[in-house]
């Protein structure tokens, strides 16, 4: 790939692989890194061979936060004028499922980027934190909202007010991540999970992702209605017909992506 701040690769089994790669700054999320990541996500989203995406960092750091050196001289009017950091929400607009594989530090914006992924798995050495309070600021890329929804008010409040980190085991026990693996095998495990997802029907996969995300973003009644409507719309696909026919005929489904 031709990016400056990330490495990308098309892996076997329809998986788009993205590794944040700014080792000198522990993958701090500078503007250039955002642009690279956004561009890579868009091209994997547009690539019909890709069915799922993995984002990881290094064994030392997923990402140590927004780039403090880039932010430190900013003034309020400019932050408001450009709606600073709002562009990161584009990560969540990716259509295909994203597995975030976190080793090492996921702090501040790094924790917030991780929480934008659809599935989060962690290496044993992962450390999650929202240490903005130590810098005289607060989370600005969704941390106060997504962390609170993920682990509940009291523990999220504690992390955001004290700035202290949470380890991988606790993150799993509280549901922030779905699994913990040894640090060295984390990326392989993420790729394995991504291959499994990529082998499913693409349109149905995206419908499934959309309805789960709706649970995070709306109240129960609106979410239930949305889910039912999208469920109905699976009946407008050939893959739904094929999937159920294959079950009845005791054979493997042959997805045609339509």
Q: Where does this chain bind ligand HXC (CB under 6 A)?
A: 25-26, 28, 64-69, 85, 105, 107-109, 131-132, 135, 137, 139-141
| C-alpha to C-alpha distance for 123 and 179, rounded to whole angstroms | 9
| DSSP-assigned letter for residue 46 | H
208-to-16, 112, 204, 234 alpha-carbon distances in Å: 19, 23, 6, 10
CB burial string 153-188: b at 16+ within 10 A, e below: eebbeebbeebebbebeebbeeebbeebbebeebbe
Sign of the dihedral defined by the CA atoms of residues 191, 197, 203, 205, in that order: negative
Cβ nearer to ligand HXC, comparing 74 with 228: 74
32 is catalytic: no
To the nearest whole angstrom, how small is the minimum distance from the Cβ of residue 68 to ligand HXC? 4
Cβ nearer to ligand HXC, comparing 29 with 193: 29
To the nearest whole angstrom, how small is the minimum distance from the Cβ of residue 52 to ligand HXC? 27
To the nearest whole angstrom, how small is the minimum distance from the Cβ of residue 238 to ligand HXC? 44
Per the residue annotation, which of 100, 110, 112, 190 is the catalytic one?
112
Cβ nearer to ligand HXC, comparing 114 with 121: 114
Per the residue annotation, which of 28, 40, 66, 150 is the catalytic one?
66
| C-alpha to C-alpha distance for 232 and 224, rounded to whole angstroms | 12
243 is catalytic: no
| C-alpha to C-alpha distance for 55 and 179, rounded to whole angstroms | 15
66 is catalytic: yes
Cβ nearer to ligand HXC, comparing 140 with 203: 140
CB neighbour list of residue 232: distance below 8 Å, 6 or more residues apart: none
112 is catalytic: yes
To the nearest whole angstrom, how small is the minimum distance from the Cβ of residue 56 to ligand HXC? 17
Annotated active-site positions, please?
Answer: 66, 109, 112, 132
């Amino acid at each position: 790939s031709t990016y400056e701040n990330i490495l990308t690769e098309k892996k076997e089994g329809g998986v788009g692989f993205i590794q944040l790669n700014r080792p000198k700054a522990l993958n701090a999320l500078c503007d250039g890194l955002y642009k690279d990541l956004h561009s890579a996500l868009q091209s994997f989203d547009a690539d019909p061979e890709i069915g799922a995406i993995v984002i990881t960092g290094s064994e030392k750091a997923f990402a140590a936060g927004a780039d403090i050196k880039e932010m430190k001289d900013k003034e309020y009017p400019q932050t408001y004028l450009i709606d600073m950091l709002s562009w990161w929400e584009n990560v969540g607009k990716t259509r295909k499922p994203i597995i975030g594989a976190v080793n090492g530090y996921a702090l501040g914006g790094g924790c917030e980027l991780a929480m934008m992924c659809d599935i989060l798995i962690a290496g044993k050495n992962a450390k999650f934190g929202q240490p903005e309070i130590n810098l005289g600021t607060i989370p600005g890329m969704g941390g106060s909202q997504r962390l609170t929804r993920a682990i509940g008010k009291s523990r999220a409040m504690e992390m955001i007010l004290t700035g202290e980190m949470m380890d991988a085991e606790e993150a799993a026990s509280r549901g922030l991540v779905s699994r913990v693996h040894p640090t060295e095998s984390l990326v392989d495990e993420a790729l394995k999970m991504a291959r499994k997802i990529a082998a499913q029907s693409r349109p149905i996969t995206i419908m499934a992702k959309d309805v789960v995300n709706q649970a995070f973003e709306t109240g129960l009644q609106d979410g239930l209605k949305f889910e039912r409507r999208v469920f109905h719309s699976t009946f407008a696909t050939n893959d739904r017909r094929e999937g159920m026919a294959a079950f009845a005929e005791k054979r493997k489904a042959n997805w045609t992506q339509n």
